[in-house]
Amino acid sequence: MNRTEGHRKKGKALTVIYSDTPERRVFDLATVGLPEIPALGFSRYGHVIAPVAAHRHAACLEIGLCLRGALTLLNNGVEHTIMPGDLYLNKPSDTHCLTAHPKGTMIYWLLIRAPRENQSFLRLSPAEARDLWTRLTRPPCHVVAKTDAVKQAFAHLFKYYEQPAGPYRTVGLNTACVSLLIGVVDASSHKATITHSRLIDNVVESLREKPERKASLDSLAREAGMSPSLFISRFKQLTGLPPCHFQLACRLEKSKRLLAESDTPITKLAFDLGFCASQHFSSHFKRAYGVTPHAWRKQKQKER
């Protein structure tokens, strides 16, 4: 499929390219009975790609779910690190872009049009459509919560899309879409009620501020007053990652700042951040950001 659809972007059109490849599946559900969904997508980044410029989707809400890897979202000038299991929501008025697409990252995403006067919206009544849309546009752009229901609904959308044309496929797509939107609303409203979240908050902040610290799983669990197994479960529920992977992500994020702001030799920087060798650091950095630490520093020095 090579059809394209334009969305306004500061006076220009952002083109959605419809395709069906192992790395990128993007479909227009308007062609199969859901005019509310101009794009349903699944992206698997097998290699580093250039980021799309900052843009908006006119009259559309973008919903994304990170499945693997770590994305960097710039929304209205604020940077967010999107971890596995996290949702990101870009409202029609938000200027946004994903500034990093690390190799191996996988995401589900879709665009949904705002309800229009005197037009059907997912076969809901006008009052139901307005209420659902209002709830969808309330959450912040980055939601950390339990998102299993959203992931399942995305999978069902692709499943029904692949069914033979007919009423059953249309009903299945519509039902899966409504389930997905309700899942997003529920995840957003319940994000602050995760059990033991307050006990883990201090550990999370400590790892963000000093990711270089040497801390065993047992010591982190003791800080939170939990058994190691419960700590891992609750930590992953809250952040989307196991503690060791979260600490690695924090080390890499801090390394970006240190590379840009200092001339510290990369070998010393790697040891200071807790890596056992500079090669180990460089390997993780390139896997996450698609470039070597040296190339990143060179690029940032040019931008000064």
Domain containing residue 158: CATH number: 2.60.120.10
Q: Are 228 and 236 in contact (CB under 8 A)?
A: no
**Residue 207 to residue 209: CA distance in whole angstroms:** 6
Residues 230 and 179 in one domain: no
Looking at the structure, tell me whether residues 83 and 149 fall in a common domain.
yes
From 175, 191, 207, give the residue that closes a domain: 191
The pLDDT score that the predictor gives to residue 4 is: 38
Tell which of 191, 226, 258 closes a domain: 191
**Domain that includes residue 224, residue range:** 197-303
pLDDT at 21 (0 to 100): 92
Burial of 225 per CB tally in 10 Å (0-12, 13-18, 19+)? exposed
Q: Which of 71-85, 95-109, 185-199, 283-297 has the weakest average pLDDT?
A: 185-199
Q: What is the pLDDT of residues 92-149, one digit of tens each?
A: 999 999 886 667 789 999 999 999 988 899 999 999 999 999 999 999 999 888 899 9
Token digits of residue 58: 């006119």
Contacts of 82 (CB under 8 A, 6+ apart): 64, 66, 70, 71, 72, 73, 88, 142
Number of domains in the chain: 2
For the ranges 96-100, 181-185, 256-260, 298-302, the maximum mean pLDDT occurs at: 181-185
Average pLDDT over every residue of 51-63? 88
Question: Of 157, 191, 225, which one is at a domain's C-terminal end?
Answer: 191
- With a CB cutoff of 8 Å and minimum separation 6, the contacts of 160 are 169, 172, 173, 176
pLDDT bucket at 159, cuts 50 / 70 / 90: very high
Coil/strand/helix, residue 295: helix
209: domain CATH number is 1.10.10.60
Instruction: Give yes or no: residues 84 and 9 share one domain.
Output: yes
Mean pLDDT score, 57-70? 90
**Pair (227, 146) in one structural domain:** no
* Model pLDDT for residues 211-266, shown as the tens digit of each residue: 999 989 999 999 988 888 888 888 877 776 789 988 998 999 899 989 999 999 99
Same domain, 97 and 13: yes
Both 56 and 97 in a single domain?
yes
Whether residues 141 and 112 fall in one domain: yes
C-alpha dihedral, 98 to 99 to 103 to 106, nearest 10°: -10
Same domain, 227 and 186: no
| 134 and 179 Cβ atoms separated by less than 8 Å | no
Residue 196's pLDDT band, with cuts at 50, 70 and 90, is low
- Token pair, residue 157, equals 């959308």
What are the CA-CA distances from residue 259 to residues 185, 273, 290 (Å)? 39, 12, 15
Residues 186 and 202 in one domain: no
Confidence of residue 267 (pLDDT cuts 50, 70, 90): very high
- Name the packing angle between helices 293-303 and 278-289 (round to 10°): 60
Judged by average pLDDT, the poorest of 15-24, 72-81, 230-239, 277-286 is 230-239
Q: Is residue 149 located within the same domain as residue 216? A: no
Q: Residue 286's Cα: distance from chain center in Å?
A: 19
Same domain, 148 and 256: no
For the stretch 163-176, pLDDT in tens is 999 999 999 999 99
pTM, two decimals, is: 0.66
Burial class (CB in 10 A: 0-12, 13-18, 19+), 20: exposed
Asked if residue 18 and residue 126 are part of one domain, the reply reads: yes
Q: What per-residue confidence (pLDDT) applies to 291? A: 87
Note the pLDDT tens digit of each residue in 7-31: 333 434 457 889 999 889 999 999 9
